Amino acid sequence: MAQTERANDYRLIDVRPLEPALGAEIRGIDLGNGIADDAFAEVHRAFLEHQVIFFREQSELAPETQIAFARRFGDLHVHPAAPHLDGRPEVFVIHTHRESKVANGGGWHTDVSCDTEPPAATMLQIHTLPETGGDTLFASMYAAYDALSDPMKQMLQGLTAQHESEHVYRGRYSDRGVDDAGRVYPSATHPVVRTHPETGRKALYVNAGFTTRINELTSAESKNLLGFLFRHIESPFFQVRFRWSANDIALWDNRCLQHHALWDYWPHERKGHRVTIKGDRPYL
Ligand code: SIN
């Protein structure tokens, strides 16, 4: 697979690419102290170039500091189902422990793709980690799209898919005190291939978590094509696997990647704060 040419000419931050398809570690910046405009411009460029960036060597950010940093990228999104910090609906508390019945983010998915305007980006800081396990895998949907044949790309261009969340969210957080009786969970139609609004690159935009059918096909055709695409996106060529250290911060671009959080550490605890940034309606 061809590797994208990139100039590593950052002056204010240290950017260390992890894989040809995606992922870079960022060092040399302390997010607890705020971020100047010129350093932020480099962070933003690294984020668009690498799709997911990992800030190492951080201290635990106060919720307002994390919120302020995330707001540099845009307005914040509020999760339709998940538990949040008291008085801070933008901060989704990620928490798994011995009593947990379910962990967030298990299985390949794009965050909240059931929204008409799904979040552009997600920022997660993990404060408490198990001794081993709890890695997060990310897969580039640019790379997954680029690897398809031209006839397959052409066929996918004209298709739209249904993204639903009732089956994902109903009752999911009941063990964490969320009563969702009477709540209506979102669903949306999106193109199967989307154009990234900032880079102009095309990315595959269906995921096993939320995408339930391709609208223009028969149900057998839809099931088989989605099955093929869900297997296709799992290729290790498109992936980076992140091994967290305490207080690392991951910032990922939901417009061009999927992720999968591994719950392989039960009964141990893993905890952190997630903030998402609003996005636009996907278009072809
Ligand atoms: C998620 O936001 O999907 C969870 C990611 C993680 O816990 O690593």
Q: Rounded distance, CA 57 to CA 23, Å?
A: 17
Beta bridge partners of 14: 27
Mean pLDDT of 2-13: 78
Say if 32 falls within a structural domain: no
Share of the chain above pLDDT 70, in %: 98
pLDDT given for residue 26 in this prediction: 98
CA nearest ligand 1 atom 6, residue: 261
pLDDT given for residue 178 in this prediction: 86
Residue range(s) defining the domain that contains residue 107: 75-277
Does residue 44 have a pLDDT over 80? yes
Say if 4 falls within a structural domain: no
pLDDT tens profile 226-244: 999 999 999 999 999 999 9
- 239, 117 Cβ separation under 8 angstroms: no
> What's the pLDDT band for 189 if we cut at 50, 70, 90?
very high
Q: Which of 182, 256, 168, 158 is nearest to 212 (CA)?
A: 168
Domain total of the chain: 1
What sign does the CA torsion over 59, 63, 64, 70 have? positive
Annotated catalytic residue 259: yes
Q: Which of 50, 77, 111, 255 is catalytic?
A: 111
Say if 120 falls within a structural domain: yes
The DSSP result for 190-201, as a single string, is EESEEE-TTT--
Say if 61 falls within a structural domain: no
Say if 12 falls within a structural domain: no
Q: What is the CATH number of the domain that holds 197?
A: 3.60.130.10
Tell me the CA–centroid distance for residue 85 and ligand 1, in Å.
Answer: 16
Does residue 276 have a pLDDT over 80? yes
Closest-lying ligand 1 atom to the alpha carbon of residue 92: 2
Tell me the CA–centroid distance for residue 187 and ligand 1, in Å.
Answer: 21
Tell me the CA–centroid distance for residue 221 and ligand 1, in Å.
Answer: 31
Length of the chain: 284
pLDDT given for residue 4 in this prediction: 60
Question: Ligand 1, residues 244, 259, 260, 271: which to mutate, most atoms within 8 A of Cβ?
Answer: 259
Say if 238 falls within a structural domain: yes
Does residue 3 have a pLDDT over 80? no
Question: Ligand 1, residues 79, 122, 249, 258: which to mutate, most atoms within 8 A of Cβ?
Answer: 122
261 lines ligand 1 (CB under 6 A): yes
pLDDT tens profile 164-181: 999 999 988 888 888 899
Annotated catalytic residue 109: yes
Mean pLDDT of the chain: 95
Say if 271 falls within a structural domain: yes
pLDDT tens profile 88-146: 999 999 999 999 988 989 999 999 999 999 999 999 999 999 999 999 999 999 999 99
94 lines ligand 1 (CB under 6 A): yes
Say if 15 falls within a structural domain: no
Q: Rounded distance, CA 151 to CA 143, Å?
A: 17
Q: Rounded distance, CA 215 to CA 229, Å?
A: 15
pTM: 0.95
